[in-house]
Amino acid sequence: MCGITACIGTENSVELLIDGLRRLEYRGYDSAGIAVKNENGISVTKRVGEVSELVAAVEQNPISGTFGIGHTRWATHGGVTDGNAHPHTDESGRIAVVHNGIISNYQPLRAELESKGHTFSSETDTEVVPHLIEENLRNGASPEAAFRAAIGTLSGSYAITAIIGDEQAIFATRSGSPLVLGVGDGEYYLASDVPAFIQHTPRVVYLHDGDFVVTTPDGYTITDSAGRSVDRPIEYIEWDPETATKGGYEHYMYKEINEQPGALRRTTQGRLNTHTGGAELEEFPPGAFADISQIHLVAMGTSHHAGMYAASLLNARGIPAYAFMSGEYSVIKPPVTPNTLVIAVSQSGETADTLDAIRRARAAGARTLALTNVVGSSMTRECDDELLLRAGPEIGVAATKTFSSQVAALALLAERIAEDYNGTKSPDSRELIDALARLPGDVQEILDTSIAREIAIEYEDSDAYFFIGRGSAHPVALEGALKFKEISYEHAEGFAASELKHGPLALVTPITPVFAIFTGHEDEATLSNMKEVQARGAPVIAVTSDESREVVEFADHVLTIPDTHPEVAGILANVQLQLVAYHAANLLERPIDKPRNLAKCVTVE
């Protein structure tokens, strides 16, 4: 949620800040604003609505500056108003601050500041920060010391950047919310995520919790909370900047659906040995998982569905594995031992619920592993081990290529763990590895031949949409329903196929199409469920290979997937369901890349 951008050492800071905010729109927001430093002080413009509203305001009343900060806000404290939008300033207007996260102790801080004569103009938690800095300056502190002291009084999660007085500098810090530094040629950037500045520099410094950074036109310094210098390496982002743009597609989501063959090749590259039929993960040499007795997969949303898929693969190999919604992990409190492996699954590596879950697991003595798409993310630093997806940037709020890559990577990891746990490869390991090697081509075949748009047109006026599947097809059904509802705003539900007759069958009518997913496992039982809903008048769209003759014979419509290993078929079925959701939402003219009330990276619980 929310987005921060900042730049210094450039001549066109307003243009760069606005461009950075545009590139962070996928994170979800309800207002946007910028503050820039110029010879007259600090100029602030902020507006409710999309970045386009901010642009219109700047065009109407132009501002300029040599450096500045920007923000897209997602309302948490206070309503969606211009006054509550960021940046926030002190009373004099000489300090400007933007903030992601939640300051949990802002109320007593605000009360104390008000008792000292400070007047607040917003309902936000963020506004205490510029007032705290102002109070420290009044007491004789230097700008940097005033910033540090203000941060030292805060509780909660935050990424904060600030402009203070006449200092030719941007001050920033993070704790529990992402912030990265971009290093250009005589210019420097700060942002919530790399796409904000990837057009200008591929060199990135990932800041750690507790880091303080001061950027000036001449360079930057990074220190810890005690003021000691710390060394953070510059890493090179290998994305082509074009991969963070729409590239001619109408929506990021559709582009990312079509990028799945390439993403899957990167995910599996160097990790498949088709000669031995094994998974080769250089991160985990033989014996790396020899002492593991059980596995917990913690994640939220789409990543949770990938975790459920992986749990079914691990259980099939005789390994006790359980998928938990990370937001419920601290409530359920499943037993954890030193021989428990907790796998955190997150596209961004910054998901607040999942970070909390792995921290609790580590405190209980578990080993932790991060499966994420983002190098240098909080999870990669906090977990004992990491496995990167290498899927490339994903901008659309609805996760597509990262789900496919998560499941593919988890299938490889399941094979690798099974070798240590069982002392040998799985009986059909070679067939699975061969199927994963064919996966990019199989996905491309679906993209080239899918009739998903025709299906979306056929059932556009339906009352609701149901998705059913068994085994690893169950999380695919849940994911298919999630994609459909989050971008189309239509009612959609996913069920285990076996659950239908225990209640949901009461909802089935001739205007509730049912998508039945067949993967080559327990297909006869799912076929029976398909006939049950047809007997109630519901049309059935089967997602299956054309080898399933009986399924094809009985289905009203078929979304075909190439014949493959049953444990891989769910990935292919999911691609078909992504296309159905996309085309359904497009027919309804929904804002597909930015669904209402949702954000790409959920950094508050």
Q: Catalytic annotation on 2?
A: yes
Question: What is the 3-state secondary structure of 219-276?
Answer: EEEEECCCCCECCCCCEECCCCHHHHCCCCCCCHHHHHHHCHHHHHHHHHCCCEECCC
CA pair distance 511, 532, nearest whole angstrom? 15
pLDDT at position 524 is 86
Task: Please tell me which residue in 46, 425, 594, 600 is annotated as part of the active site.
Answer: 600
Q: Catalytic annotation on 531?
A: no
Asked: is 3-241 a CATH 3.60.20.10 domain? The reply is yes
Q: Which residues partner with 8 through β-bridges?
A: 67, 188
Q: Which residues partner with 163 through β-bridges?
A: 96
Which of helix, strand or coil describes residue 190? strand
Which of helix, strand or coil describes residue 171? strand
Domain ranges within the chain, ordered by starting residue:
3-241, 252-448, 452-587
Q: Which residues partner with 147 through β-bridges?
A: none
Q: Which residues partner with 341 through β-bridges?
A: 295, 367
CA pair distance 180, 573, nearest whole angstrom? 36
Provide CATH code, domain 452-587.
3.40.50.10490
pLDDT at position 383 is 96
Segment 148-173, tens digit of pLDDT:
999 999 998 899 999 999 999 999 99
User: Hey, do 252-448 and 452-587 end up sharing a CATH topology, with the first three levels equal?
Assistant: yes
pLDDT at position 500 is 77
Positions of the chain with pLDDT lower than 70, given as ranges = 1, 27-28, 239-244, 247, 599-605
Homologous superfamily of 252-448 in CATH? Glucose-6-phosphate isomerase like protein; domain 1 (3.40.50.10490)
pTM of the predicted protein model: 0.80
Interacting residues of 522 by C-beta distance below 8 A, sequence separation 6+: 470, 471
Task: Please tell me which residue in 2, 7, 383, 601 is annotated as part of the active site.
Answer: 2
